[in-house]
């Protein structure tokens, strides 16, 4: 054992030396990634030191070996197969020849960035039952590195510091204020001034959002900032947010807003501004979504759907900008934030740019939070624009669905979700993975909170999945994905590309006049950054949603991306193309690369498997209500799965009442993440879910027999 450890240490040591020799960079692997190197990340284009490539989070690789002229020769350098069909959303970090990346269920791996040789793996062994609380798949968006350590936020709330050389745990701390609440971590931590900063998610199910900073060496908590007020009966939190909550936030809420947690989770963007020494956090949606239920339809509900600027050392409030006051559509503003200096009306302005779910592209003066400009980048039925004097959206009267339902665009999946956008200082364009996904919003009559389950206050059954193939196709045709090259000064697109479906990958811009993006259909592509001309494409054999990165080892430029389909859209919607579940992969490309993926087999679908039992229409209707409010959020609306999780219409258990009960009621598959739903539903109710899914299976079987 001891000898094995020593051999591993020696091997790792030699790899670090080799990495240093070829990259010629300062320091020595992650051990040398100190505050100065992080601040100077843009001066090291051969490495990818932070989540967004540098503190500016522009995701711009200043490398020119791969260019618009030669990208046609790009080929696979190496690939590594992963162990799961769940979504892969991570941004790999690359330091002096070593890649650190995460995979679903918060696992971490260190790889030789030139060869793909696995150096170590770390599995935090997250209890799979936590997966039920993950609104949008059990994904992880990556690690942060600093001074010989690799930091990961685990789905179950642990923030874990690993030894970068060995993958061994150095410290671990529980970041959830209450582990019994349905919090989850999917976002990447950031290291800022010796602090590790992490937020969490869970606002669909009912939590109160916050962000916490920990000492990177000891793991001790330094400060915590709650984004929304708590239960006034419990008094102040004793946290740095108390003063600003009392001064600004509390009066903007009404009713018993604390009952559902309030929401406002900081589940993605956490960005450090090294020029102004400020930290920007993107704050998520309200919980429950419906403002009528959450806050009696009154008040702006600060700091929901806002960017909040804090002092990084103390967490003290500096300023905020709220894009969607009184949000009621799941319009998070936690989407990626990127920093730059733009020439606006002849003057250089230090700005932050953000394109949150609500469909507006915001350019904000980061010195004071003043809105400079905002323009819609996707179809918007909820608002007509933004009043630049007040910074508030000009809402359409019916958009709040106070009496009737309303078809809202964009919707909960966002005109832009977490998929990172990139910015090229050479073209001055932002490369934005946008989408068009409408949702019909209608208040859920007789809403009752269910602890630990989804609590939206929106009647999802008012978005029925049509049985008629022509109607189905008509809705599917409305769903689009786009790659938009957005000019943030002129606030309009320079060019755009339309995809068949939404939920495409994050983007990478490079100095080779290129933009790289994977898409939900499984193509990893390169476009000319100035014109959008498609120059290169690679079949990943699975949908790609993660953002690519680029780096150099030994004088060779590589482009890397995590492939592996998943996340909110394929889990929850009915209109995605059905596909076979495939394990994810790390894919790495270089000029002249000749590696090959194994030949993909044609998708094999089990036959639809309707039960022979005679269910009553009342059973089917009851099952529909339960299924669409609970099961369909992971197994697909209308029981249409897109393959990330099993298609229940084809499940062997569907035809057998006992087998169904063993799984759905008794939790037989909880080790896979399929927990028991006995907490919320009786055996009879879960049997009516079988009735509904069985009915859907019967319809599918009929359609397949008719060749539709």
Q: Tell me which residues are annotated as active site.
A: 330
For Ca ion, give the closer residue by CB, 340 or 411.
Answer: 411
For Ca ion, give the closer residue by CB, 88 or 285.
Answer: 285
Q: How far is the CB of 201 from Ca ion (least distance, A)?
A: 7
Q: List all residues 6 or more positions away from 335 whose beta carbon is below 8 Å from its beta carbon.
A: 268, 269, 282, 354, 355, 356, 357, 414, 416, 417, 418
Window contacting Ca ion (CB under 5 A); options: 105-113, 329-337, 354-362, 694-702:
329-337
Among 58, 132, 285, 573, binds Ca ion (CB under 5 A): 285
Window contacting Ca ion (CB under 5 A); options: 86-94, 141-149, 280-288, 470-478:
280-288
Window contacting Ca ion (CB under 5 A); options: 139-147, 323-331, 445-453, 661-669:
323-331
For Ca ion, give the closer residue by CB, 202 or 673.
Answer: 202
What letters, b where the CB count within 10 A reaches 16 and e where it falls short, cover 116-131? beebbebebebebebb
Q: How far is the CB of 204 from Ca ion (least distance, A)?
A: 5
For strand 585-591 and strand 556-563, is the pairing parallel, antiparallel, or unpaired? antiparallel
For Ca ion, give the closer residue by CB, 422 or 443.
Answer: 443
Any contact of residue 630 with Ca ion (CB under 5 A)? Answer: no
CA gyration radius, the chain = 24
Window contacting Ca ion (CB under 5 A); options: 205-213, 283-291, 640-648, 683-691:
283-291
Q: How far is the CB of 332 from Ca ion (least distance, A)?
A: 5
Binders in 163-222 for Ca ion, by CB under 5 A: none
Angle between helices 683-705 and 617-626 (to 10 degrees): 100
Q: How far is the CB of 706 from Ca ion (least distance, A)?
A: 38
Which residue, among 505, 515, 497, 569, has the nearest Cα to 543 in the 3D structure?
A: 505
Contact of 388 with 373, CB cutoff 8 Å: yes
Cα–Cα distance between 294 and 654 in angstroms, integer?
37
Binders in 39-58 for Ca ion, by CB under 5 A: none
Any contact of residue 330 with Ca ion (CB under 5 A)? Answer: yes
122 φ, ψ (degrees, to nearest 5): -130, 125
Task: Give one word for 504, left, alpha or beta, with left for phi > 0 and alpha for psi -120 to 50.
Answer: beta
Q: How far is the CB of 450 from Ca ion (least distance, A)?
A: 17
Q: How far is the CB of 408 from Ca ion (least distance, A)?
A: 14
What one-character-per-residue DSSP string does 645-676 give? S--GGG-GGGG-HHHHHHHHTT-TTGGGT---
Q: How far is the CB of 266 from Ca ion (least distance, A)?
A: 12
The alpha-helical segments, DSSP class H, found in 401-488 are 469-478
For Ca ion, give the closer residue by CB, 54 or 186.
Answer: 186
Any contact of residue 687 with Ca ion (CB under 5 A)? Answer: no
Window contacting Ca ion (CB under 5 A); options: 20-28, 165-173, 285-293, 652-660:
285-293
Question: Which residues make beta-bridge pairs with 589?
Answer: 76, 559
For Ca ion, give the closer residue by CB, 282 or 673.
Answer: 282
Cα–Cα distance between 397 and 417 in angstroms, integer?
25
Window contacting Ca ion (CB under 5 A); options: 24-32, 243-251, 281-289, 321-329:
281-289
For Ca ion, give the closer residue by CB, 332 or 557.
Answer: 332
247 CB-contact burial (10 Å; exposed 0-12 / middle 13-18 / buried 19+): exposed
Q: How far is the CB of 333 from Ca ion (least distance, A)?
A: 11
Give how many residues touch Ca ion by CB under 5 A.
Answer: 2
**Strands (DSSP E) along 259-405, which ranges?**
262-263, 270-273, 278-282, 286-287, 306-310, 317-322, 337-344, 347-354, 360-365, 371-376, 383-387, 392-395
Q: CA separation (Å) from 697 to 228, 281, 648?
A: 43, 44, 8
Cα–Cα distance between 627 and 638 in angstroms, integer?
8
For Ca ion, give the closer residue by CB, 304 or 697.
Answer: 304
The site string for Ca ion over 551-580 (x = CB under 5 A, - otherwise) reads ------------------------------
Residues that bind Ca ion (CB under 5 A): 285, 330
């Amino acid at each position: 054992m001891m000898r094995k450890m020593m051999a591993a240490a020696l091997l790792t040591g030699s790899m670090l030396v080799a990495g240093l020799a070829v990259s010629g960079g300062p320091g020595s692997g992650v051990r040398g990634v100190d505050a100065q190197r992080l601040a100077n990340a843009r001066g090291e284009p051969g490495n990818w030191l932070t989540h967004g490539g540098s503190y500016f989070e522009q995701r711009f690789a200043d490398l020119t070996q791969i260019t618009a002229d030669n990208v046609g020769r790009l080929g696979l350098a190496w690939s590594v197969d992963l162990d799961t069909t769940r979504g892969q959303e991570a941004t790999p970090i690359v330091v002096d020849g070593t890649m650190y990346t995460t995979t679903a269920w918060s696992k971490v791996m260190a790889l030789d960035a030139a060869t793909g040789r696995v150096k170590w793996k770390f599995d935090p062994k997250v209890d799979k039952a936590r997966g039920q609380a993950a609104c949008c798949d059990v994904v992880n968006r990556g690690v942060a590195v600093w001074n010989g350590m690799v930091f990961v936020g685990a789905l179950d709330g642990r923030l874990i510091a690993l030894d970068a050389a060995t993958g061994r745990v150095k410290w671990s701390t529980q970041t959830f204020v209450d582990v019994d609440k349905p919090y989850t971590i999917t976002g990447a931590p950031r290291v800022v001034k010796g602090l590790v900063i992490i937020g969490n998610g869970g606002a669909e199910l009912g939590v109160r959002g916050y962000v916490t900073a920990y000492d990177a060496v000891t793991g001790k908590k330094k400060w915590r900032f709650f984004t929304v007020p708590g239960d006034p009966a419990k008094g102040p939190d004793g946290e740095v947010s108390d003063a600003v909550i009392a001064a600004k936030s509390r009066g903007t809420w009404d009713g018993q807003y604390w009952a559902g947690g309030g929401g406002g989770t900081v589940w993605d963007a956490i960005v450090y501004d090294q020029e102004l020494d400020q930290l920007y956090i993107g704050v998520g949606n309200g919980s429950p979504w419906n403002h009528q239920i959450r806050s009696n339809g009154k008040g702006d509900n600060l700091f929901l759907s806002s960017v909040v600027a804090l002092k990084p050392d103390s967490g003290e409030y500096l300023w905020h900008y709220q894009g969607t006051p009184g949000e009621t559509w799941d319009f998070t503003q936690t989407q990626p934030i990127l920093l730059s200096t733009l020439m606006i009306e002849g003057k250089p302005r230090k700005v932050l740019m953000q394109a949150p779910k609500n469909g507006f592209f915001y350019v904000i003066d980061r010195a004071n939070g003043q809105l400079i400009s905002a323009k819609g980048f996707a179809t918007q039925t909820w608002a007509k624009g933004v009043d630049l004097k007040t910074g508030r959206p000009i809402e359409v009267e019916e958009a709040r669905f106070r009496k009737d339902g309303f078809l809202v665009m964009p919707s909960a999946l966002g005109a832009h979700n977490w998929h990172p956008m990139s910015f090229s200082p050479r073209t001055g364009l932002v490369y934005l993975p946008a989408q068009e996904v409408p949702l019909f919003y209608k208040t859920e009559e007789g809403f009752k909170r269910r602890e630990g389950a989804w609590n939206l206050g929106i009647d999802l059954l008012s978005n029925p999945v049509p049985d008629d193939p022509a109607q189905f196709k008509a809705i599917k045709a409305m769903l689009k994905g786009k790659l938009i090259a957005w000019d943030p000064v002129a606030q309009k697109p320079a060019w755009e590309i339309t995809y068949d479906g939404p939920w495409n990958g994050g983007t990478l811009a490079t100095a080779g006049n290129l933009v790289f993006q994977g898409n939900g259909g499984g193509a990893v592509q390169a476009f000319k950054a100035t014109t959008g001309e498609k120059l290169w494409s690679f079949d990943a054999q699975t949908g790609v949603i993660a953002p690519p990165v680029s780096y150099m080892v030994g004088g060779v430029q590589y482009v890397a991306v995590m492939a592996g389909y998943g996340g909110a859209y394929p889990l929850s919607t009915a209109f995605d193309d059905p596909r076979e579940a495939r394990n994810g992969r790390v894919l790495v490309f270089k000029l002249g690369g000749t590696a090959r993926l194994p030949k993909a087999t044609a998708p094999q679908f089990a036959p639809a498997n309707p039960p022979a039992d005679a269910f009553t229409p009342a059973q089917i209707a009851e099952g529909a209500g339960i299924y669409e409010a609970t099961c369909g959020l992971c197994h697909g609306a209308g029981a249409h799965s897109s393959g990330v999780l099993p298609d229940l219409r084809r499940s062997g258990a569907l035809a057998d009442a006992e087998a169904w009960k063993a799984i759905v009621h008794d939790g037989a598959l909880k080790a896979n993440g399929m927990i028991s739903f006995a907490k919320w539903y009786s055996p009879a109710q879960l049997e009516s879910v079988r009735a509904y899914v069985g009915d859907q299976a019967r319809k599918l079987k009929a359609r397949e027999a008719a060749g539709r």
